[in-house]
Structure 1
C-alpha cells in the first residue's frame, strides 16, 4: 500500500503532458490484457464461448482524477508562513494583529449561500457545520444582511453575528463546549457619542486611551487607508474626534457602537470621513475614500484552469491540498496587470512559485502573481491599476504555462473571483445633496469637541 501511495504521489507531480501520456499508455495496456483473441473454435452456444465473450469493466476514475488540468501539482502547497510570502508589517499592523476581537464583515449578495460565503473567505467548513447544528436557521440568508465574524489564533470562528433586521441580530459564540446561539433584540435608543483624543505615542495606543476598541480602530484605519495613513502619517500632537452610534437602554450604553464619522487634524492637514447608508465612508463632498480593485489581472479573459479551493483534496491520498489562488491558462509572455493601486513589496524568485510579485494595496488588501516569465517592476515601486508589472510564464513548480493570482484580505487568502471588491463610486447623485448637508453638520459637531 505504501508503494502505491508513493507511486501515486510521484505520478501527480509529473508534468501534465507526461501524466496524460502515461495514463493513455496504461489504458492501452489494460485493454490489450483484457482482449484475448479466440484461437479455438468451440461449438456455438458452449460455456467456453460464453466465457470468452464476458465483458470486463475498466475503472478509470483515478486515472481521470490524476490528469485533471490543475496548473500546479496537487501535492505542492505554498506555505503561508514562508518568510518569502510575508508582507512586512509596521507597528500599527502588529498591534492590530495582536488584538483578538477584530471583526470581518460581509453583506449577502443575491443567490449567495452560507457555504459559498465560507468558501469565499476560506473559513473552516467544520465550524459552519457546527453552527448549523446549533441553529439550522443560520442558513437562511437574505440579500443585504450583514454577517460579521472574528477569528481566534487558530483561525477558527470565535464569534459570528447576522443582522436580521435593524432590531434583531443572531449571535453565535464559541465556548469550551461548542457554539452557543442567542437572539439579541435591540430595544434601546440610539444616540451619537463623541470621543476625542490627542496622539501622544502611536495612534493605536492614543485611540485605545480615548475609548475605542480594536475593531473600531481597524474600521478607521480601513476608511482612511488611501487618504491618510494612521500608522505612518500620524504625528505626536495630532488631534482627532470620532462619532459613534451607540445603543442606550435605561440610560446605559450597550455594546461598543458603530463608527459613524471622524475628523482628524494633522498640523494644517484636515481629514474628514463619514459613513453613508451603504456602510462605506465618503468625504464631505460625497466622494468615496476607497480605491477600486479589478477582479482580473489580465486585459483579456483567459480560461480558469484551477479555481480557488481552500478545501481541495488530493484524489488519491485524500489529504487537504488547498489552492489559495485562481489559475488562468495564459500563454507564456501574456502581459500581467496590477489589479489596483499599490506598492510592490516582493519581486523575486522562489523554488515553488517561480518568479513572483506581491503588491500591497493600502492596509486591507494585497495581491500575489506567480510563475512569471519576466518581472517588470522592482520592490518599493508604486504602481497604478492596469500597469503592466510582468509577463506570465511557467517558472517554479508548474504543470504548464499559466498565471496563478491571489487576493489577500488582511493577509488571509480569499476568492478573488467571488468576494465583493472595493469600488470608488461617489454617493449617488440623487442622495448627494442630502449627504453633503449631513456631513457639513457632522463636521461642525466634531470640530466643536476637538481638543484644543
Structure 2
C-alpha cells in the first residue's frame, strides 16, 4: 500500500518541483532586468576637447562665406566679430583666409542659455588646425592632429605609364610626382618604356593611426630604365636647415645644372628635328625645339638658374621668355598663355616663369623649349650637361653607412626577379 501511494504522489512532486524552478528563473530574470546598469556614454575627444560637454556643429565653408557671416548664423554680433578679429593677430590666425571647402567645427557649451559659440575650430588641412576661443578670454591656438608615420615598400612594372602603374597598384597618385621630381635631372620620363620598373621605400602619415594623410617622405628608390638601374637616396646635407638632397649609390648627386624638362611630367608632342612639317605653316622646315604638350595654365619653370634677357610677344613665338644661364647656355620657352617674369629678373632652377598656352603659331596648348650652347641652337637631349654641386667629401663615409641597409632592402627580390626573368629568356 505504501509503495502504491508513493507511486501516485511522484508525478505531483515532479510537477511541483518543475513549476518551482521555472518561477525561480523568471524571478531571477526580473531581478536582473531591474538591476541592469544604464549604458555608459562613450567619451568622444577631438581637438583637445571632450565633445560630450558641448553642442557640436560640424560644417564646411561655402561659397560666399566669411568669418563674420558664419558667426552671424550662430548669434555673434558684428561688434563682437570685430572684437574677435582685432584681438587675434594675422600671424596666429588670418580671418581673411577662410577658404571654400575647408571644414570647421563650432562648439557651444550645453549649460549656456545664450547658446553662443565657445570655440571655432578651422581645419587648414588634414593635420593642421586653429582653435579660436570665444569665451570671456579671446585667443587662438595653432595645433595638429596626432599623426603616426608608417614605413611602406612598393614596386611595379610599367606597361604604359608610370602614373597608371602607380594608380593600378592602389598607391597615392602623388607618388608619381615625387618620383618624377627625384629623377627630373637624370631620367627622361617622356621616354619611359614598357618593362621599366621601380621599387620605392617611403613613409605615409596617418591621423589617429587610421586616417591616411599623405606621403611624408620618399627615402629610397631603385628605378630601372632601359635595363639601367638608377638609385636614389634622400640624405640630409645641412643639419642647421634640415635641407636634404638625393644621391645615388656612389654618392653622386641626382641634381644637374639643367632640369630634363620645363614642365611637370606630361608628354613630348614634337622633338628637335632638322626637318619637320609645320602644322600651321603647312611646309617643311627645321624644328629647333622640343614641344611638351600640357594643359593650358600648366606652370612652366626655368630649367636652370639664370637671368631673364627677354620676356615679350611675337607673331610666331606668342608669349615667350628667354633665360641666360651662363656665357655658354641659354634657354627659351614659347607659346605661353601668360608670362610671369620680367627682363633683368634673376630666376632659380624650377622657378615658374610662365604658363602653358597656345599663343603664336601653335595648334594647341604646349611649350616649345629651345636650347642654345655658345649661341647655337641644339638638341638638349644630346648634350653632356654639367652636374650640380657634388656631395662634400667629409660626409661621404656617413652617407655610405646610412644607405647600406636601404640599398640591401631595395636590391632584395628586385635583383632576384631580374635574374629569374633573364633565366627564363635563355
Normalising by structure 1, we get a TM-score of: 0.36
Larger Rg: 2
Higher relative contact order (CA 8 A, sep 6+): 1
TM-score (norm. length: structure 2): 0.38
